[in-house]
A and B are shown apart, each in its own frame.
Chain A
Amino acid sequence: KAGVTQTPRYLIKTRGQQVTLSCSPISGHRSVSWYQQTPGQGLQFLFEYFSETQRNKGNFPGRFSGRQFSNSRSEMNVSTLELGDSALYLCASSPGADNYGYTFGSGTRLTVV
């Protein structure tokens, strides 16, 4: 079966712009979570959606937002981009609400110039 698909793979944006990243989970998976990875801070948890509802949230400013659609696909939006937002953004899907069986996507590498 198909894995977790993230699009686009690479993205270059200008400071001040906004960006939307997409994550399509494994078929049947209802939970999608998002992570930011940078060389300096490592992996950090952004948020998690389950059945179209944000269930958990990390410590990121309100410029970072997300949503999940009825087909479980999820989008993450970052507004007013800053240079420090340059990172690898990863999403992971899991079957349900039990924090188990995560499958990660390959990530979107965002560069802010």
Chain B
Amino acid sequence: KNEVEQSPQNLTAQEGEFITINCSYSVGISALHWLQQHPGGGIVSLFMLSSGKKKHGRLIATINIQEKHSSLHITASHPRDSAVYICAVFDGNQFYFGTGTSLTVIP
């Protein structure tokens, strides 16, 4: 049983395209995180959400608590955005992680 489902698993985009990655979860949560992992393992925390929408540069994250769904959008994608994007939810006791979306942005 996967508490967190992400789609798509893999995504290839041309530079400049608008990208959406989706995350659905089945547990009650107190917070949802979007993480970025580059080859080599380093993880960066992009957003923490408990409601609404957040924006940082070209990245936008939204969450719908009633529908148990979150989206990560990348506007004007760039090859440096190529990474694995991971959705993680915290239910008050522990974290559950999605399997990640591998994004490749082609110049």
Which A residues fall within an 8 A CB radius of B?
33, 35, 37, 42-45, 56-59, 88, 90, 92, 99-104, 106-107, 109
Contacts and interface: CB of A to CB of B under 8 A. Distances in A.
A88 B41 contact: yes
Interface residues of B, number: 21
Contacts of B66: none
Contacts, number: 50
Contact of A45 (B42, B45, B95): B95
7 contacts: A42-B98, A44-B97, A45-B97, A56-B93, A56-B94, A104-B35, A104-B43
> DSSP class of B's interface residues: helix, strand, loop or mixed?
strand
Interface of B: 30-31, 33, 35, 41-45, 48, 86, 88, 90, 93-100
